[in-house]
Amino acid sequence: MKKKIAMLVVTMTMFLVIPILASAEKNVVIDPGHGGWDSGTAGFSGSSTGFYEKHANLAISKMVRDKLNAAGFNVYMTHDNLDTYLSLQERTEIANSFAKGKNDQTVFVSVHHNAAPTNPYVRGFESYHYNNKYAWEAEYPPDPIQVAYGSESERLAETIHPSVLNSTGLNDKGMRNNQAFYVIRNTQMPSLLLEMGYMSNPQEEALIKTWSFQNSAAEGIKNGIVSYFKVYEVYSAANKRLKIYETQEEAIQYSKSQSNTYVFDKYQQKKVYENLNEYSVYQKGKEKLKTYPIKEDAIQYAESLANTRVVDEHTEKILWSNYLPKKYSVQTEAGKSLWSYYDVNSAIEYAKWKATPLKVVDIDSKGVIWSSIDGVKINRFINDTNLIGLDRMETAIKVSKDLYPNGFSSSKAKKAVVLATAYDFADALSVGPLAAQLDNAPILLTAKDKLPLQVEKELARLNAKEVYMIGGKGAVSNAVQDRLAKLGLTVTRVGGADRYATNLLINKKLTNVKGVFVASGKNYADALGAAPIASANQWAIVLTGKDSINSTALSYVKGKQVKVLGGGSAISSTVEQSIKRYSTNVERLSGADRYKTLAKVLTKFKSMMGSDKFIVSTGTNYPDALTASALSVKTKAPIVLVGGTLDGHLEDFILEYQPAGGVKEVIKVGGKVDDAIIEKMKNVLY
């Protein structure tokens, strides 16, 4: 069969064009023939023993189900009860409903037993699949979808039929394609009807009744179905199957010889190779709009919309945009531009490919980023700074040392440090603005019951005189407070009965507040993203519950500009309406998740940022970004929070971040940010 599979080309497009990975599951529909009042053949002895065809059909079907389930298949049965009667149309409709949306990854097997009433000597196994060429009858028209699956139904027969013969030892009465049985001509998936032996033959009927035969028959059917799925299919970008192979190597070799194809492992239900071109259209502030296999088609669609860009998904490079400027020019020594690019890596790759002395120049700053011209010096680069400690407390100390490498100067107005718990975000979320007003105090972290030695050393290095300890005794204990006092520090505890009370005490210490962010007190994500902007721009952060906000908080926002952070699942419209009764300048900034909400906040306050530095930290926990807010105050740099990947909406912000002279330093705070994300940012930040 190997040679036949290798040469099989599907020349017709399936009637159901479904993405191959839409279901990513192997599915089998088992149809036990007959049932209820329709007992099927009585065979040689059924009239006296009460054992009819329906009993044998259901017994084998259930065994097949169990074996396939154990092999990792999704198995459906049209019925699983001897007393259930279904018409042929009902069986077909049930089967098709199971296969809907996953037709290409589903097969149908109808289990029956045969009889030859006039000849008790006939015995053996036969299978039936529908072939429109040989079984067409005008009075029995097939479902056109089954017609399209004709070659697959034949392949299903070629795997199951010999497997059953091998497992049962039955006589081979052949694979038949000249019958128009209702269930195999109207199911919308590869289909096969099995006749598992002749119950009219007394010896074969006796065999059929045994558990050992039924188990062997079920094993043969299961093995045949497994063999059917154990192939590698080559598909075009339009999900049209081109060829089928028994080995992955052959499939990949063929796929490599074609353009825009991929190899699908049908048994594992996953792509194992692809050479697809994927050109995606993105619109600023929105998700990916469409993906095309041809670049020109993607650009044509993007041209019809505003603020779009076309990205090669494999290289992640911007190929075209109607709102982003090309920032990098490949030039000769005389300054003649040969080509311009949106990202620096593409410009450098082109310059290297030309194999002639060239330079890559930042179009705005005129700085040279790369050169192969003798005597031309590189004067435009981005430095990397990593502020990463062994744990969150040491990372906070790294940030403090970056802020004040020589400790506090003698002229510093406030020689203060903010100290918060390292292990619970509740009290510390809104402390950034307070730290900023304390002459940009560094934020250090502590354990609840003991001040870490490294924190003591940092307080001494800074020559700190005051410590503002955030949270009640449940967050930072009296033991820590007492230790600070013994070190000769003046300690001010800012802590209430709960996170909301602590938040209000923090805000009472702020002066000249220009606006208020209202964020959820139950989840750190939104408040964390806003903290650097609040800290750098004299805004406060007010924490609230989802469905209610306390009266003191409402009094605090009265008459101020307010930005409500997050969607309705974070802060309800009820709370928003309550705020609007106290302020006429209220706007909600929300996205589908924390990163998209942050993108909205960064874009809204973009005009207040113009630093040649860019700060990156993780959005998956709070301490690193919390302590980094003081860096943002010092540098006026944005802080971008990332997860395992760079969110597309945040990428929109980065693409348009254009400080005078460009970005010269990327600061990574904490160790949970993948270096690949940093490199992706730098590629467009030069």
Q: Residue 209 maps to which CATH number?
A: 3.40.630.40
Collapsing DSSP states into helix, strand and coil, what is residue 667? strand
Q: What is the DSSP letter of 378?
A: P
Nearest to 630 by CA among 423, 431, 460: 431
Rounded to an integer, what distance in angstroms lies between the CA atom of residue 657 and that of residue 420?
Answer: 32
Co-location of 401 and 501 in the same domain? yes
Q: Which residue has the tokens 């693409």?
A: 655
pTM above 0.75, yes or no: no
Co-location of 244 and 333 in the same domain? no
The answer to whether the beta carbons of residues 149 and 14 sit under 8 Å apart is yes
Helix (H) or strand (E) holding 561: strand 561-565
The answer to whether the beta carbons of residues 526 and 542 sit under 8 Å apart is no
The answer to whether the beta carbons of residues 672 and 658 sit under 8 Å apart is no
The answer to whether residue 645 sits within a structural domain is yes
Radius of gyration of the chain (CA): 35
Collapsing DSSP states into helix, strand and coil, what is residue 342? coil
Co-location of 403 and 438 in the same domain? yes
The answer to whether residue 17 sits within a structural domain is no
The answer to whether residue 13 sits within a structural domain is no
Co-location of 252 and 108 in the same domain? no
Co-location of 470 and 428 in the same domain? yes
Nearest to 432 by CA among 422, 421, 418: 418
pLDDT on residue 17 = 41
Nearest to 13 by CA among 218, 220, 238, 268: 238
Q: What is the DSSP letter of 258?
A: S
Tokens at 245, concatenated: 């192979």
What are the two backbone dihedrals, phi and then psi, of residue 312, each rounded to the nearest 5 degrees?
-75, 110
Helix (H) or strand (E) holding 653: helix 648-655
Co-location of 225 and 236 in the same domain? no
- Domain interval for residue 666: 386-685
Co-location of 70 and 108 in the same domain? yes
Co-location of 334 and 400 in the same domain? no
Rounded to an integer, what distance in angstroms lies between the CA atom of residue 125 and that of residue 114?
Answer: 9
Low-confidence stretches of the chain (pLDDT beneath 50): 1-19, 22
The answer to whether the beta carbons of residues 91 and 78 sit under 8 Å apart is yes
Q: Which residue has the tokens 């400027």?
A: 325
The answer to whether the beta carbons of residues 176 and 134 sit under 8 Å apart is no
The answer to whether residue 32 sits within a structural domain is yes
The answer to whether the beta carbons of residues 279 and 301 sit under 8 Å apart is no
Co-location of 448 and 592 in the same domain? yes
Co-location of 138 and 287 in the same domain? no
Helix (H) or strand (E) holding 630: helix 623-635
Rounded to an integer, what distance in angstroms lies between the CA atom of residue 259 and that of residue 472?
Answer: 65
Give the DSSP per-residue string, 313-343: TTTTEEEEESSSPP-EEEE-TT--EEEEESS
Nearest to 109 by CA among 131, 77, 143: 77
Per the structure, how many domains does the chain have?
4
The answer to whether the beta carbons of residues 521 and 499 sit under 8 Å apart is yes
Co-location of 199 and 243 in the same domain? no
Rounded to an integer, what distance in angstroms lies between the CA atom of residue 574 and that of residue 614?
Answer: 37
The answer to whether residue 46 sits within a structural domain is yes
Co-location of 77 and 103 in the same domain? yes
Rounded to an integer, what distance in angstroms lies between the CA atom of residue 604 and that of residue 587?
Answer: 11
Chain centre distance of CA 333: 45
Rounded to an integer, what distance in angstroms lies between the CA atom of residue 60 and that of residue 24?
Answer: 27
The answer to whether residue 76 sits within a structural domain is yes
Rounded to an integer, what distance in angstroms lies between the CA atom of residue 96 and that of residue 533?
Answer: 56
β-strand 539-544 against 665-669: which pairing, if any? unpaired
Taking the CA atoms of 213, 214, 217 and 218 in sequence, report the sign of the dihedral they define. negative
pLDDT on residue 2 = 43
**Of 219, 254, 274, which residue sits at a domain end?**
274
Tokens at 227, concatenated: 């063999």
Collapsing DSSP states into helix, strand and coil, what is residue 410? coil
Q: Where are the alpha helices (DSSP H) in 304-373?
A: 344-354
Nearest to 589 by CA among 574, 575, 577, 604: 604
The answer to whether residue 127 sits within a structural domain is yes
The answer to whether residue 219 sits within a structural domain is yes
**Of 340, 371, 402, which residue sits at a domain end?**
371
Rounded to an integer, what distance in angstroms lies between the CA atom of residue 502 and that of residue 504?
Answer: 5
Rounded to an integer, what distance in angstroms lies between the CA atom of residue 234 and that of residue 255?
Answer: 6
